[in-house]
Amino acid sequence: MNLKKIYLSREWRLSRAKFFWYLFLLGIALSIVNYFFGLVFPSLVYVIVSTLLWLAALFFIYPALIYKRQHDRNDDGKSKLKWIWIVFGISYILSLISSIVTMITLPSMQTEAQHLVQQLQTATTTWEQAKISQDILALQQKAVSQVFTPLYISISIAMIVFSIWSIVLLRPLLFAKGTIWHNQYGADPLEKKKK
């Protein structure tokens, strides 16, 4: 079976096990590609490229898998798809907001930290080293306080809620049995195993 047929075609049926594994492999592949984009592109370009990558997955690849899985259950797949778009879309927007806030707040601290480390390396007395070490500790505390702002905490809680909602929405796709034998969308994907 070729990847184009698996991840882009909305034809035929997909068993529970194959749906899970194709979804799992897709998540790993997208994460690896996203990671390498982060290494190659500067911050703003990375956010744009990453957003385009996830939008392509959300509107082309995930629907193909969901349609095929719903076809195995003798359903057209359209009713489930709109809710999955909403949940994944909101989750991604929350993640994007979190990334943008991080990109805005942390670079200034990173520059300040590099400056303090250089000062620490050139410090000649123990008193200077102790003073710079206190400044580094204060900067670490500032970074932690900026990470645990109400915005970050609320985004994290919202992402947990949407993750649970995603699991509830995906539950029938992952655990419900498909139609036995042939249905209007094609042959049973497990039919060869049953013989």
The predicted model gives 124-145 an average pLDDT of 81
Q: Does residue 83 fall inside a structural domain? A: yes
15 vs 148, higher pLDDT: 15
pLDDT at 193: 60
Do 68 and 10 form a contact (C-beta atoms < 8 A)? yes
Range of the domain at 113: 3-190
Q: Does residue 7 fall inside a structural domain? A: yes
pLDDT at 148: 64
Q: Does residue 70 fall inside a structural domain? A: yes
Examine the pLDDT at 131 and tell me if it is beyond 70: yes
Write the DSSP symbol of residue 10. Answer: -
Give the Å distances, CA to CA, from 171 to 64, 70, 71, 190: 17, 12, 15, 20
Beta carbons within 8 Å of 34's beta carbon, 6+ residues apart: 50, 53, 54
What's the number of domains the chain is made of? 1
pLDDT at 194: 53
Q: Does residue 195 fall inside a structural domain? A: no
Q: Does residue 115 fall inside a structural domain? A: yes
> What confidence tens digit (pLDDT) does each residue in 70-111 have?
888 888 777 777 777 787 777 777 777 777 776 666 666 777
Categorise residue 41: left if φ over 0, alpha if ψ from -120 to 50, beta otherwise: beta
Q: Quote the tokens at residue 165.
A: 């909602």
